[in-house]
A and B are shown apart, each in its own frame.
Chain A
């Protein structure tokens, strides 16, 4: 009995209630250690994330253009924000981005959840094949975008050739990355290839978290497997599915690397996601003030949407 109480009591005495005096001679106090350990991380984030962010907020009220940085810094108030919100092109980019996010999330959820249901059957050698399936998501998105341009080459690439084997359409008659009608689907296709395994992994964890006895009880009640899926599997895996949606949606809203290399926003601007617009404004046109304002609008959007979503997720979890 004492053996159990003793260490707890001693830790309480050392940890929370006694001031420095009692601990002198045994090195730093716990509070000292806590701050010493947390401070470097917070300091680094303040220097590399927060300070630049605040600087960017300030710049977003200026007309700074780095290609004309000899001009004096001029404050323009909310002009940049007004410009952005009334810019019709930008709304089109946001629509393109929304379409990309929604199509990829839907496809990745369907394929990922489907694969998870299959893998959960625990057939022989399933863990080997799972690892194979997981490989694409571990690769560098930029490198992926780059090598898919080879696969999609109309004549020399294998993709069109395989399509023509199945459909009879001549392989050189269409270009996955060069056609207005196809390019938006091309980026969706490559993103799904890369990230469906990610959704699969999260869904698999969800399926494995459902205890067997629930299915056993359903079996006793003679519930059909269709019924079991809708009233046990899906609701119990739902928090996991929602988490997958959250992570994928945030990531794809930020999407830059893979699409930049695969289509670089083209043809025209059919695949120009908002991150690519931002890169062009900031690092090609050098409109720093304008692009700072755009960056802040994007950040507030992601942050706000993620917060609302996490609240919904917590409600589902508690149910």
Chain B
């Protein structure tokens, strides 16, 4: 009796074990195939230059940290006699480089570029979330004339192709001396992110019952106190999720970065493809940079799992 009831229940809401196994197997095959390109890159970072460009492509090889060393240093080629005349290498990376008749000439630009990514990413995220929280609170709690039109206007700024936006921004920044500066990039990314922040945060704040604040107002709190002590603590998860989405956008952005920066304020995405060794792209170094660049995103994806859907649909779909 129970067994029979169970089978029927399975066929309706829950799939039968066999269907589940087949579905699971197909999904796992897809996931494994889809993740292979990423694994290949992570593995290439540990190949030597010659293993990285071997034909046929090598799956088994002697791992080395050359890629990472090349990523962080600038090297010059020297004659073996010159290297023999140098004082003995003191560090492991000096030894590694000298094996290839090279000498480390100094640090590469990867660290400043990484710092640019961090400063511009966190700066624009902070501003976008700050402005976005205030605006979202106002849209959620007060009657604002033409609120729907304003909200749509805020969203529509996201529909323009970035290259199209970059044309007038480029001219404007040239006049204001903002090209290739942290300030310029932070302002631009804030403007792009604020639309996402307003839409997402309005959704999160809408879900906080008004009664909490109203009770606080009755107790003699001012609106601002009620916002700070009642609404914000309730919205913390939403604000954090929104911040991570803004950070990911700034971190990954390429079109504005490549068109509006050339050196001082260049972020990682336009920098990575141009990590050059002798004779073209230095693939192990590029792969090392890609790996380091992607790791934070992987962690954030795992952290954000619950809110991912909301973030990618501008809050249009909530679970």
Contacts and interface: CB of A to CB of B under 8 A. Distances in A.
Given A55-B171, A295-B164, A118 B31 contact: no
Tell me the dominant secondary structure on chain B's binding face.
helix
B293 interface: yes
Contacts of A88: none
Interface in A288-319: 288, 291-292, 294-296, 298-299, 302-303, 306
Contacts of B12: 212, 215-216, 219
Interface residues of B, number: 106
A208 interface: yes
Contact of A257 (B254, B298, B317): B254
A135 B164 CA distance: 29
Nearest to A197: B34
Dominant secondary structure of chain A at its interface with chain B: helix
Given A142-B273, A275-B161, A279-B259, A212 B223 contact: no
Nearest to B57: A158
A41 B154 contact: yes
A146 B223 contact: no
A129 B299 CA distance: 15
Interface in A108-153: 115, 118-119, 121-127, 129, 131-143, 146-148, 150-151
A36 B142 CA distance: 12
A58 B154 CA distance: 22
A295 B191 contact: no
A299 B158 CA distance: 11
A26 B219 CA distance: 12
Given A123-B20, A243-B317, A193 B34 contact: yes
Contact of B217 (A11, A134, A279): A11
B250 to A, nearest CB: 10
A42 interface: yes
A37 B137 contact: yes
Interface residues of A, number: 106
Interface of B: 8, 11-15, 19-21, 23-24, 26-28, 30-31, 34-35, 37-38, 40-41, 44, 52-57, 131-132, 134-135, 137-139, 142-144, 150, 153-154, 156-157, 159-172, 187-188, 190-191, 194-195, 198, 210-211, 214-215, 217-218, 222-224, 248, 251-255, 258-259, 269-270, 272-273, 281, 283, 286-287, 290, 293-294, 297-298, 300-302, 305, 308-309, 312-313, 316-317, 319
Interface of A: 6-8, 10-11, 14-16, 26-28, 30-31, 33-38, 40-42, 44-45, 47-49, 51-53, 55-56, 59, 115, 118-119, 121-127, 129, 131-143, 146-148, 150-151, 155-158, 161, 171-172, 193, 197-198, 201-202, 205, 208, 212, 215-216, 219, 240, 243, 247, 250, 253-254, 256-257, 260-261, 275, 278-279, 282-283, 288, 291-292, 294-296, 298-299, 302-303, 306
